[in-house]
Chains A and B, each alone.
Chain A
Amino acid sequence: MIAVIRRRAGRWALNGAAGLALAYILLPLIFVVWLAFFRQEIPSFPPEGYSLKWFAAILDQRKFVDGFSLSFRVGVLATLTGLVLGVPAALCLVRYNFTLRGPLANLLLMPVVVPGVVLGTAMYVFQVEVENGLDVDVLGTFYALVAGHVVIVIPWVVRLVTASLAGVDRTIEEAAQNLGANAWVTFWRITLPSIRPGIVAGALFGFVTSFGNLEMSLFLVGPGRTTLPIVILQYLEWKIDPTIAAVSVVQILLIGGAMLLTDRYVKLARVV
């Protein structure tokens, strides 16, 4: 009898702790979403009424639209570049044993560990040096910003593709070669499809990281080129009306939608 009570109490405690943690993560998000629909300009409780005008307000302000567009383009390009570099890197790390393999694996994962400000400073100084050395415009250009973001996309691609590769039976590649497929055909027809979940998940997380990055972008953006997180920060310095909440809701919906869509084709929970 006591054992049963103890087991039930244990289960209640576990569920309670999990619920608290979940609430801790979700509550701010719920408040932001709620706030986006408030009618009044200064957020205060209780709301005076509800309105969709803040969503309309986003479209009225060019800087939000431009910021969104820039963040989106940088994210897509950085993700694609990150895939081209990260997938072969992951293949090498898993398949070949070479000196410095361990250090190299850590180096590729480093950008998620190093504080964003440090990474941004380093990238800034590097780009200034390159600009001085080569005598071409680097800092503040679109491609320099993309180059910076590639660095923070790579860890996600490498990590998730590596995890995916570990579950792939290498003999299926030998089987393909045995059946007449050369190394190139084997990679495209056999290896790549079997690590697709890792690639998709890596691309998704890489994109989200790039899209939401603030610290590094602050160092790398040029005049007239501001990413969405920077636009939000700048806006918040002057106003706290629910426009920002509305922008956040749009972001949450986009990223959440992308995840749900991806999850239909690739079970994200299996790779991440």
Chain B
Amino acid sequence: MARLDIENLVKRYGDFHAVRDVSLSIADGEFLVLLGPSGCGKTTTLRMVAGFIEPTAGRVLLGGQDVTLLPPWKRNAGMVFQSYALFPHLTVAQNVAFGLEMRKIPRADIEKRVEEVLALVRLSGYGGRLPRQLSGGQQQRVALARALAIRPDVLLLDEPLSNLDAKLRQEVRVEIRELQRQLGLTTVMVTHDQEEALTMADRLVVMSEGEVRQVGSQRDLYERPANRFVAGFVGRSTFLDGTIDTPGHFRTSGGLELKCAGNRTGAAVLSLRPERVEIGPVSLQGGPLAGLDNRLSGTVEFVSYLGSLIDIHVRLSPADRLVVQIANREGGFSPDVGQPVHVGWPLSAGQVFTA
């Protein structure tokens, strides 16, 4: 295993910038996840690391060695493809042995290594089967075993779980993560599924439109999103548009006067996490909302019942609507559509971004 450095990577197709100036360093043994909506450049970045796409500019360093101009077969990077890409005419054992044969490893050693790796992914005894005789989950583990067999410097995972059903996906996430820790694999995974990203990563990179929007831990991204995109993409946020004339005073486009943190001025967006906003009945004057920096009255416009949680959409002004998420507790406050309510939040719950 080795560290991986990506320096000022750019990929242009004509006028279209698929990747704009991406720089990342992945430490030895680190699990990094590239997260973003489709078309954000995350897969292009991964494929440039694997060598399938030639960068327009920038460098890729694997273990300190510049591999930017090397063809894929001369880089020691193991990749797991979204479709698994198992060789349909070869058995499981032959699939896993392929990379070892390419490395001219003696026959006897190959057999031993294939056995070891298949045991690692709990597929001992499946060596003689053809890929089409396996279930989706088993095929996925063969793909992983095949990539691990070559003892790669870096493991590249391209949406490896997207073809599995929801229940299996949860198990495989944990399995891959444990295997990665146990073997100390430097890993880069690409996904558009934020739950997957949050459960597996040591560190996350949020991308959109070919650019890195923020790099950080799960907590960093959720608690301190760097911009409106990250606040909306990682977790959920309500955005209120408005302006700040004097620092600390936010006026929404609907005319509401709110207190906010920071000292920026001008056109701005106030972002609120639905579960950080409190909600209560109007009649209660003090109660749970007392002491909150912002307290407003509104009307319940829409309620969605999610089981353990309830989403309540509250109309604050003709132009401003807020989503509040509450836990579904026995005897808890649960307003109906049309009911007037009070909402409130502390200064620290609101994030201000430039519009």
Contacting residue for A174 out of B78, B81, B103, CB 8 A: B81
B81 touches A182 (CB 8 A): no
- Known A-B contacts A175-B79, A176-B98; the reply to A182 vs B73 at CB < 8 A is yes
Residues of B within 8 A of A44 (CB): none
Q: Tell me the bound Cα distance from A181 to B71 in angstroms.
A: 10
Residues of A within 8 A of B82 (CB): 171
**A180 in the interface, Cβ–Cβ < 8 Å?**
yes
**A248 in the interface, Cβ–Cβ < 8 Å?**
no
**A178 in the interface, Cβ–Cβ < 8 Å?**
yes
Closest Cβ of chain B to A95, distance in Å, is 14
B150 touches A175 (CB 8 A): no
Residues of B within 8 A of A182 (CB): 71, 73
Q: Tell me the bound Cα distance from A175 to B52 in angstroms.
A: 10
**A177 in the interface, Cβ–Cβ < 8 Å?**
yes
0/1 string, A177-201, CB within 8 A of B gives 1: 1111110010001100110100000
Residues of B within 8 A of A171 (CB): 81-83, 85
**A48 in the interface, Cβ–Cβ < 8 Å?**
no
Looking at the complex, which of B86-94, B109-117, B217-225, B331-339 is the stretch in contact with chain A?
A: B86-94
**B60 in the interface, Cβ–Cβ < 8 Å?**
no
Among A169, A179, A181, A189: residue with most chain B CB under 10 A:
A179
Residues of B within 8 A of A176 (CB): 87, 98
Q: Tell me the bound Cα distance from A150 to B54 in angstroms.
A: 39
Closest Cβ of chain B to A169, distance in Å, is 6
Q: Tell me the bound Cα distance from A190 to B85 in angstroms.
A: 11
A190 touches B102 (CB 8 A): no
**B37 in the interface, Cβ–Cβ < 8 Å?**
no
A172 touches B73 (CB 8 A): no
Q: Tell me the bound Cα distance from A194 to B85 in angstroms.
A: 12
B50 touches A169 (CB 8 A): no
Q: Tell me the bound Cα distance from A165 to B86 in angstroms.
A: 16
**B72 in the interface, Cβ–Cβ < 8 Å?**
yes
- Known A-B contacts A174-B52, A174-B72, A174-B81; the reply to A179 vs B99 at CB < 8 A is yes
Closest Cβ of chain B to A199, distance in Å, is 13
**B315 in the interface, Cβ–Cβ < 8 Å?**
no
Q: Tell me the bound Cα distance from A177 to B79 in angstroms.
A: 10
Tell me whether chain B's interface is mostly helix, strand or loop, or mixed. Answer: loop
Residues of A within 8 A of B79 (CB): 174-175, 178
- Chain B residue nearest to A185 (CB atoms) is B102
Closest Cβ of chain A to B95, distance in Å, is 9
Contacting residue for B83 out of A169, A193, A194, CB 8 A: A169
Residues of A within 8 A of B87 (CB): 172, 175-176, 190, 194
A175 touches B85 (CB 8 A): yes
Q: Tell me the bound Cα distance from A189 to B82 in angstroms.
A: 22
Residues of A within 8 A of B72 (CB): 174, 177-178
A169 touches B85 (CB 8 A): yes
Among B78, B81, B147: residue with most chain A CB under 10 A:
B81
Closest Cβ of chain B to A63, distance in Å, is 45
Residues of A within 8 A of B146 (CB): 175, 179
Q: Tell me the bound Cα distance from A178 to B146 in angstroms.
A: 11
Q: Tell me the bound Cα distance from A182 to B73 in angstroms.
A: 6
Contacting residue for B150 out of A180, A189, A194, CB 8 A: A180
B77 touches A178 (CB 8 A): yes
B71 touches A177 (CB 8 A): yes
- Chain B residue nearest to A177 (CB atoms) is B72
Interface residues of B in 36-69 (CB under 8 A from A): 50-52
Q: Tell me the bound Cα distance from A169 to B82 in angstroms.
A: 12
B98 touches A179 (CB 8 A): yes
- Known A-B contacts A172-B88, A193-B89, A194-B88; the reply to A177 vs B83 at CB < 8 A is no
A179 touches B102 (CB 8 A): yes
Interface residues of B in 123-161 (CB under 8 A from A): 146-147, 150
Closest Cβ of chain A to B17, distance in Å, is 22
Residues of B within 8 A of A178 (CB): 50, 72-73, 77-79, 147
Q: Tell me the bound Cα distance from A174 to B78 in angstroms.
A: 11
Q: Tell me the bound Cα distance from A51 to B78 in angstroms.
A: 69
Q: Tell me the bound Cα distance from A193 to B50 in angstroms.
A: 24
Interface residues of B in 147-189 (CB under 8 A from A): 147, 150
Contacting residue for B81 out of A175, A180, A181, A196, CB 8 A: A175
Closest Cβ of chain B to A233, distance in Å, is 44
Residues of B within 8 A of A180 (CB): 73, 99, 102-103, 150
Closest Cβ of chain B to A78, distance in Å, is 28
- Chain B residue nearest to A196 (CB atoms) is B89
0/1 string, A139-176, CB within 8 A of B gives 1: 00000000000000000000000000000010110111
Q: Tell me the bound Cα distance from A69 to B98 in angstroms.
A: 43
Residues of B within 8 A of A172 (CB): 85-88
Closest Cβ of chain B to A184, distance in Å, is 10
Other than the given A171-B85, A176-B98, A189-B98, 18 more pairs (CB < 8 A) read A169-B83, A172-B86, A172-B87, A174-B72, A174-B85, A177-B51, A177-B52, A177-B71, A177-B72, A178-B72, A178-B77, A179-B78, A179-B98, A179-B99, A179-B146, A180-B103, A190-B87, A196-B89
Which residue numbers of A lie inside 8 Å of B, CB to CB?
169, 171-172, 174-182, 185, 189-190, 193-194, 196
Which residue numbers of B lie inside 8 Å of A, CB to CB?
50-52, 71-73, 77-79, 81-83, 85-89, 98-99, 102-103, 146-147, 150
10 closest Cβ pairs, A-B complex: A180-B102, A179-B99, A175-B85, A171-B85, A177-B72, A178-B79, A193-B89, A172-B85, A177-B73, A180-B73
16 contacts between A and B (CB under 8 A): A169-B85, A174-B52, A174-B72, A174-B79, A175-B86, A175-B146, A176-B87, A178-B50, A179-B73, A179-B98, A179-B99, A179-B150, A180-B73, A182-B73, A189-B98, A193-B89
